[in-house]
Structure 1
Amino acid sequence: MKTLYFDCFSGVSGDMVIGALIDAGADPVKLVEELKKLHIEDEYELIWKKIVKNGITSTKFDVVLLNQDHQHSHHDHEHEHIHTHDHNHDHGHTHDHEHEHIHTHDHDHDHGHTHTHDHNHDHGHHQHDHRSYKDIVKLIDEADFSQQVKDTALKIFKKIGEAEGLIHGVPLEQVHFHEVGAVDSIIDIIGTAILINQLEISVIKSSPIPVGTGKIRIDHGLYPVPAPATLEILKGVPIEHSEVRFELTTPTGAAIVAVLAEEFCSIPSMKVSSIGYGAGTKTFKDHPNVVRVIIGE
């Protein structure tokens, strides 16, 4: 049986998971093709590149938004939070960056080629400001994915939606994803489901999850780390103390691992066939900010 182990020694986020799966041998070009089944490819472009994080060559995966005022690569964790109905969503972002200015974050050096997938954006398509949980379910249901991919993606979205609804006191149907977080989460979650399916994984296990410490600023103000949604999602999952003053695990990363892993343990006995490292956005002084996936029989 093909087993995948998430080694989350530096936490986990959605983009880190996709980067690690690509690094372990999943085909990113097929991922791009599969994601077209959602019919939202005019909203984003995908970039993946090899970078070195504190001495470890890893794959950095990014979703770059193409809609009017958000043309920036924003896989910075603070943006990955979901917002509900009753808040003002005007972030005042006016990033009018040209497309050529996509750059890697931090001081990591590029290794090899950057792959970008451009789409024509002369389409007069008016972007929604928000996508509700219901909209996302409909998007997944109507796409021509295999049933396994749909089921996995829907379970992960439901996990996030329920946690956010509980915290903000709104029913699941009224949970809204702000447009920045929405496209990102959609790609990360459905992309993970697609790649796990592509790699023909039968069993998934994970290490305990470090969550970081300190405070982060999100739309609702200063929040403790782990953010309330992340902590809610990780109920029943062993979390680990970490001295790093940063949000190591995001709601999307937490939901992916919480839903997929059937056991939280040390590395299981197996014959290792491939290893992948997925890079996070931040660089830490004394440890590589990557998630490692180990695949074997």
Structure 2
Amino acid sequence: MKYLYLDGSCGISGDMTVAALLGLGASREKMDAAIASLNLDGVHVHVENSKSYSIAGLSFSVHVHDHDADHVHSHEEGYVEHHHHEHGEHCHGASTSSATLHHHEHRHLSEVYEILDRAANAGAVTPHALETAKKIFRIIAEAEAKAHGVPVEEVHFHEVGAVDSIVDILAVAVLADDLCIENCIVTGLNEGSGFVETQHGQLPIPVPAVAHIAEAAGIALHITETKGEMVTPTGAGIVAALRTQETLPAGYKILKSGVGLGKRDFGRANFLRAQIIEDAAGASNGPADCCVFILEANIDDSTPEELGYAMDKLFEAGARDVHFTPCFMKKNRPGIILRAIADAEHLPAIETALFTHTSTVGYRRIPVERNCMCRSIFEVETEYGKVRIKKSVLGNIEKNKPEFDDLKALAEKAGVPVREIQKAVEKKIC
């Protein structure tokens, strides 16, 4: 089993993540094409080799040219949700004045989604990458809504900061998708201490949005003596969206490393290290044994719409799988058994989602062992475009299954049935 491991020893931000994934070998060409497809005027990105206190890595920057002024906004978080602070997109960037930010229009989450959809409509991002980008933005918006006591629909982003964040987040989604690694490990994030200056005064670190994201996603924050903000809302949102587990395998091989440099000077090296690692126990293509939990509850007083929404929330909380089974309950009432499969580290978040979004007042938790074929993802090029293939291996048994979202996207683009794309893929893998 291969994993993407993000080492949060120096915190995390959007630009650091982009640079680290590029350092792992993710496609710069796909990233550039996705950003270009957004059709954002006056925006360009810059990637360069650099160093932070003798540690070599890549630095990623987004530059937004202001058509109303003769200067360029350097890359920083800068988005302002409702009355949010301007602590800078990345704790590692320069700061932009409140006057400059307020000079620009605001964008709500729905408008950000519309901009992201441009890349999908242009065929520059896969459905999976688009879904990841929207998920990250939604996580951040929900945290900001909670911080400011407003509905998610009222959360807004300043124009410059929103552009920076859109580029960052879409780039991360595209690059992570290109690496074709399904599982992501983040053991925790180191955060600084002290206060950050905002337009409404000082706020303690971690800032409210980061604290709310960490709370909702169960991300462990380790407060250090470093003065300053090491974890940005964008960085925390990326972790919440990508992470599938928080513990490293007992033994693993490092297959490749990438280093993304931060821009703030903490008096020491400031970087995000990303690695592709392989579980040493699973390197021989044998079965992957692990303990998971089945959470189940009997429900007879929820509508189908409510149950569908609950399923979405359980998946967001980290469930590996969720399904419903019809049953008869007390007084011969028809109902359903809701079952969720989860890793131990996601149990608190899934329990919260279960009690919050269903009518149940109790559930059963059953530890079980599971055996899995070793899985990986590769791409095939057809006359219609690229399709990701899920490859599963156990000894001499091998299975290859095309990603249906890719089949669907190519079928819609070419105006042909999905089965035609399927046939084209079968020719390549047979």
Superposition TM-score, scaled by structure 1 size: 0.81
- Shift, 1:128, TM fit: 5.9
How far the C-alpha of 1:85 sits from its partner, in A, is 6.5
8 Å Cα contact 2:59-2:261 kept in structure 1: yes
Q: Distance in 2 between matches of 1:224 and 1:159?
A: 21
Letter in structure 2 aligned against 1:155: K
Distance of aligned partners of 1:205 and 1:247 in 2 relative to their CA distance in 1, 3 Å threshold: same
**Alpha-carbon separation, structure 2, partners of 1:137 and 1:51:** 33
- Residue 293 of structure 1 pairs with residue 291 of structure 2: no
List aligned pairs for 1:6-155, cutoff 5 A: 6-40=6-40, 42-68=41-67, 69=69, 71-76=71-76, 79-84=77-82, 91-93=98-100, 129-144=105-120, 145-155=125-135
List per-residue Cα deviations over 1:199-242 (Å, max 9, x = no partner).
11111011211121011112332111111111111111111121
Residue in structure 2 matched with residue 214 of structure 1 by the alignment: 194
Cα 1:85–1:56 shift into 2, 3 Å: closer
Which piece of structure 1 moves more, 232-241 or 135-144?
135-144
> How far off its partner does 1:173 sit?
1.1
* Inter-partner Cα distance in structure 1 for 2:30 and 2:131: 19
For 1:278 and 1:86, the matched residues in 2 are separated by 27
Q: What CA deviation, in whole Å up to 9, does each residue of 1:238-276 have, x standing for no partner?
A: 111211001000000000011111112347633222101
Task: Letter of the 1:143 partner, please give it.
Answer: A
Q: How far 1:36 sits from its partner (Å)? A: 1.8
Give how far 1:75 is off.
3.1
Pick closer, same or farther for the CA change 1:80–1:269 going to 2, 3 Å: farther
Partners in 2 of 1:291 and 1:86 — Cα distance? 26
Deviation digits for residues 85-124 of structure 1 (CA, Å, limit 9, x no counterpart): 799xx82239xxxxxxxxxxxxxxxxxxxxxxxxxxxxxx
Partner of 2:397: none
- What is the alpha-carbon distance in structure 2 between the residues aligned to residue 9 and residue 15 of structure 1? 16
Distance 1:70 1:232 in 2: 37
**CA–CA separation in structure 2 for the residues paired with 1:293 and 1:203:** 13
Distance 1:178 1:194, change over 3 A: same
Q: 1:141 to 1:30 in 2, by over 3 A?
A: closer
Name the stretch that deviates more: 266-275 or 235-244.
Answer: 266-275
Q: Paired residues, what number?
A: 261
Report if the CA contact (8 A) 1:43-1:67 is conserved.
Answer: yes
- Give % identity: 35
Spell out structure 1 runs of 4+ moving beyond 6 A: none
Distance, in Å, in 2 between the alignment partners of 1:73 and 1:219 is 18
Q: Which residue of 2 aligns with 1:163?
A: 143
Answering whether residue 247 of structure 2 is matched by residue 265 of structure 1, we say yes
Distance 1:284 1:249 in 2: 13
Q: 2:26 is paired with a residue of what secondary structure?
A: coil
Q: Residue 239 of structure 1 corresponds to which residue in structure 2? A: 221
What is the CA–CA distance in structure 1 between the aligned matches of 2:70 and 2:241, rounded to whole Å? 30
Which region of structure 1 is more displaced relative to structure 2, 268-277 or 230-239? 268-277
Q: Structure 1 residues 273 and 225, CA, compared in 2 at 3 Å: closer, same or farther?
A: same
The offset of 1:284, in angstroms, is 2.2
- When residues 141 and 29 of structure 1 are mapped into structure 2, their CA distance, relative to the original with a 3 A threshold, is closer
Tell me which amino acid in the other structure corresponds to 1:219. Q
- Deviations along 1:134-164, one digit per CA (max 9) or x if unpaired, are 1011222343221101111111111000011
CA distance in 1, matches of 2:115, 2:39: 9
Q: Which residue of 2 aligns with 1:99?
A: none
Larger Rg: 2
Shift of the alpha carbon at 1:45? 0.8
Counterparts of 1:67 and 1:155 in 2: how far apart (Å)?
28
Give the aligned CA root-mean-square deviation in angstroms: 2.4
- In structure 2, C-alpha distance between the alignment counterparts of 1:12 and 1:217, rounded to whole Å: 19
What is the aligned partner in structure 1 of residue 400 from structure 2? none
**Mapped partners of 2:175, 2:65: distance in 1:** 24
Which is strand-richer, 1 or 2?
2
Distance in 1 of aligned mates of 2:256 and 2:250: 14
- Distance between the aligned counterparts of 1:52 and 1:227, measured in 2? 28
Structure 1 residue runs of 5 or longer lacking an equivalent are 95-126
Gapped runs of 5+ residues in structure 2? Answer: 86-96, 279-430
Shift of the alpha carbon at 1:16?
0.3
Amino acid at match of 2:110: K
Q: Secondary structure at the match of 1:258?
A: helix
| One-letter code aligned to 1:289 | N
1:195 aligns with 2:175: yes
Q: Which has the higher contact order (CA 8 A, sep 6+)?
A: 1
- Residue in structure 2 matched with residue 176 of structure 1 by the alignment: 156
Normalising by structure 2, what TM-score? 0.57
